A and B are shown apart, each in its own frame.
Chain A
């Protein structure tokens, strides 16, 4: 009997302690307009991808700074937009990348104009890894070889996932061919696939001559011996030269920054006309419900300004091969809108 009394006493004190801890947590979190538990939905369903990785880094720091419970949920684009639509209190935020407006430009179902429908929040980082690869034993040594070959009437098949980041490089390439070799651009054929594994498989099967990939996912394949069916070679990174220059010197895996720089402009030139070279940096940014309290926008902007001023987050991002790129909401919105209009032109040109 005494034992059960003891247990009872222990249990009740545990309950009291737990409720005190919770009480304290709630009290501390009530300083700013953001309150309670914050759910950050992302436009990707993958927890192995860059969106999740980058969002986790940022949200962890933000939760610490604001002293709030925040959690990243990989729910996927359409689901994330729908969830964000429903919550104007600020308890649901979204992090996504250029796909959010590229999907709209390509007319993908479920994508609206983010600049009209949502409030665009701050940018936080760039993933400089968007790449194009050929089999290691491919006759094409450089991207220029491919442009020339297509210009001479040769058919080149490119494995991409349609309707977004994976397609924009293909569109730019097609646009460049139409400028340099008018009428030949239809020889560049898109092979629509899904995941990265599907794109790789197309290359292994000989069903594609060029695939879209990433430095992160494909770097190890580029280090396989040439006689390996899986061996690949980078021919193009769409990032700006500036962006790659900010990457750590050791690069990623065994591929150094110096080696990566060989595959970006000006070494690789994809024309947009008028001496302009096409580049594409995949940027991550916040999206908010349009009716959310503007004070929350400011609160997050301020918190991130402080976080980036401390400088620690930059190290974490660089270690994971992200390039820190914080721009507060207003600046980010203007910058991204301009970015969208540039790509809109390319997409319109080739249609």
Chain B
């Protein structure tokens, strides 16, 4: 218990302050947890390792959580991993249940965060050994499983798959990077585009553009007049939050937390895959998932618990292999290198004090995040009460600033924001679906890398089926996911047909009655 002497009041203040700043970063579209950690990394020099880690872990937890706010209230995922939060959060906010949605998100987040911290604490070295059983082949299959959500997410499967394929196609623009073991040659573009698109479209500007800017364009189309009055009435009109929402949802909460931890644990499988995967599984396994995508709390629970569970998960390979599990921990590792501390398979046994200090900071940051957000939400949720003609220009400005800042001042990222804003608007106008498109975009390039690398390493297609028992299990899950979506598709079509016949039947009897009255 020697580490207790390292925990002073500054330590807790820094962790709490980190969580607060992180939430703000996460909540501003275009600013991410990764950015927050990167900005504050040099501070660790002055603060020393333990205090520095408290601050950075606070920022990490806060940054991941903050993303839920714009996702729910404005339909803009604050961080890539909160994209699935928009699916149910925004419809709820439109129904006047923004506060309720955010409270569900906060509770799911803190549970996800704490579950993953517990898993990290108890099983880190063991899980690290498990994670290295996932070679390129298994990672490809995980991505494929996450991609299979496209089938169940879309209202028309064919259009959904088509949109998803467009998303994947867009993600392949640019070079197959040398740092990923590719050839560094560009494709899918003309020569004059190379200076701008060498590395392809940046994820975050695309995300903010396609969700945020296109939403604003759609709203702008309606004009200013119909605005203010009726929107204000809506606030608080919807049903209120109560803990009973979580009744019967514990399986979802736990499953999603574990999925988040697990995906976080796999280096190279991005954070957004975690929430997408958890969302898919809830959609497939829940008794009634028909409301998901239209404003169901269960979707929020899956998405938010999974993305916060990433934090603990991503720290597993960092602390037991020296390999960061996601982009934020990749920056976080700098805190150790700057202090000249090696992270590798022997880090935990050789630095027990730092290890306990990190666990304390992680748990404390989660708790601070919970209290900060749970009690501030009432006020944060009022953002939607700001008249749209004032709110939207501010959002556009923040989006532009965020897009410009994300890669340290690349103007093309702002154009990307605009291009994808307009594309998102057009896509919805012609009847394509945005969600599958963006999931395709996020996961497409990773799928490519792991697919190509698998073939390069093993030289045969059959390896995808025969590599390991894990691969077989993943195939079964993919198959189940696809079959489920098809069955659900048929069911909902049958239901719609039945409803239609009922409606037409009742209108016929109505008109029949009227006819009767007239004839009298």
A198 → chain B closest CB, angstroms: 7
For B135, B186, B333, B342, the residue with the greatest tally of chain A CB atoms inside 10 Å of its CB is B342
Check if B178 sits within 8 Å of A207, measured CB to CB: no
Check if B135 sits within 8 Å of A79, measured CB to CB: no
B123 within 8 A of A: no
Knowing A53-B338, A56-B42, say if A46 contacts B330 (CB, 8 Å). yes
The A22-80 residues at the B interface (CB cut-off 8 A) are 45-50, 52-53, 56, 60, 71-75, 78-79
Residue of chain A at shortest CB distance from B132: A204
Q: What is the bound-complex CA distance between A261 and B331, given in angstroms?
A: 32
Check if B45 sits within 8 Å of A161, measured CB to CB: no
Check if A200 sits within 8 Å of B331, measured CB to CB: no
Query: Which residues on B sit within 8 Å (CB–CB) of A163?
Result: 178, 184
Check if B331 sits within 8 Å of A47, measured CB to CB: yes
Check if B132 sits within 8 Å of A201, measured CB to CB: yes
A53 → chain B closest CB, angstroms: 5
Query: Which residues on A sit within 8 Å (CB–CB) of B225?
Result: none
Residue of chain B at shortest CB distance from A54: B337
A68 → chain B closest CB, angstroms: 15
A243 within 8 A of B: no
Q: What is the bound-complex CA distance between A221 and B128, given in angstroms?
A: 13
Q: Which stretch from A136-144, A223-231, A280-288 is at the chain B interface?
A: A223-231
Q: What is the bound-complex CA distance between A319 and B453, given in angstroms?
A: 38
The B171-203 residues at the A interface (CB cut-off 8 A) are 175, 177-182, 184-186, 195, 198-199
The A315-346 residues at the B interface (CB cut-off 8 A) are 319-321
The A73-95 residues at the B interface (CB cut-off 8 A) are 73-75, 78-79, 82
Check if B181 sits within 8 Å of A320, measured CB to CB: no
A17 within 8 A of B: no
B220 → chain A closest CB, angstroms: 34
A234 → chain B closest CB, angstroms: 14
Residue of chain A at shortest CB distance from B38: A47
A242 → chain B closest CB, angstroms: 23
Check if B42 sits within 8 Å of A71, measured CB to CB: yes
Q: What is the bound-complex CA distance between A82 and B129, given in angstroms?
A: 41
Residue of chain B at shortest CB distance from A195: B179
Q: What is the bound-complex CA distance between A200 and B317, given in angstroms?
A: 13
B462 within 8 A of A: no
Residue of chain A at shortest CB distance from B37: A47
B498 → chain A closest CB, angstroms: 52
Check if B336 sits within 8 Å of A60, measured CB to CB: no
A45 → chain B closest CB, angstroms: 8
Query: Which residues on A sit within 8 Å (CB–CB) of B45?
Result: 56, 60
Knowing A197-B268, A217-B322, A230-B345, say if A108 contacts B42 (CB, 8 Å). no
Contact partner of B333 (CB less than 8 A), chosen from A48, A192, A205, is A48
B interface residue count range (under 10 / 10 to 19 / 20 to 34 / 35 or more) = 35 or more
Residue of chain B at shortest CB distance from A319: B340
Contact partner of B407 (CB less than 8 A), chosen from A79, A204, A320, is A79
The A185-226 residues at the B interface (CB cut-off 8 A) are 191-198, 200-202, 204-205, 207, 216-221, 223-224
A296 within 8 A of B: no
Residue of chain A at shortest CB distance from B39: A71
B457 within 8 A of A: yes
The B34-93 residues at the A interface (CB cut-off 8 A) are 38, 41-42, 45
Q: What is the bound-complex CA distance between A332 and B317, given in angstroms?
A: 39
Contact partner of B323 (CB less than 8 A), chosen from A161, A197, A320, is A197
A109 within 8 A of B: yes
Check if B333 sits within 8 Å of A47, measured CB to CB: yes
Q: Mark B231-274, 1 if CB is under 8 A from A, else 0.
A: 00000000000000000000000000000000000011000000
Knowing A48-B333, A78-B199, A108-B184, say if A221 contacts B457 (CB, 8 Å). no
B342 → chain A closest CB, angstroms: 6
The B363-396 residues at the A interface (CB cut-off 8 A) are none
The B190-224 residues at the A interface (CB cut-off 8 A) are 195, 198-199
Q: What is the bound-complex CA distance between A109 and B186, given in angstroms?
A: 9
Q: Mark B491-517, 1 if CB is under 8 A from A, else 0.
A: 000000000000000000000000000
B143 → chain A closest CB, angstroms: 15
Contact partner of B178 (CB less than 8 A), chosen from A162, A202, A221, A224, is A162
Q: What is the bound-complex CA distance between A162 and B178, given in angstroms?
A: 7
Knowing A161-B178, A230-B132, say if A192 contacts B456 (CB, 8 Å). yes
What are 5 of the A-B contact pairs (CB < 8 Å)?
Answer: A48-B332, A56-B45, A56-B338, A109-B178, A191-B456
Residues of A in contact with B (beta carbons under 8 Å apart): 45-50, 52-53, 56, 60, 71-75, 78-79, 82, 108-110, 161-163, 191-198, 200-202, 204-205, 207, 216-221, 223-224, 228-230, 252-253, 319-321
Given contacts A47-B334, A79-B407, A230-B321, 9 further A-B contacts (CB under 8 A): A45-B179, A53-B337, A60-B45, A75-B408, A109-B186, A192-B181, A192-B456, A224-B346, A252-B342
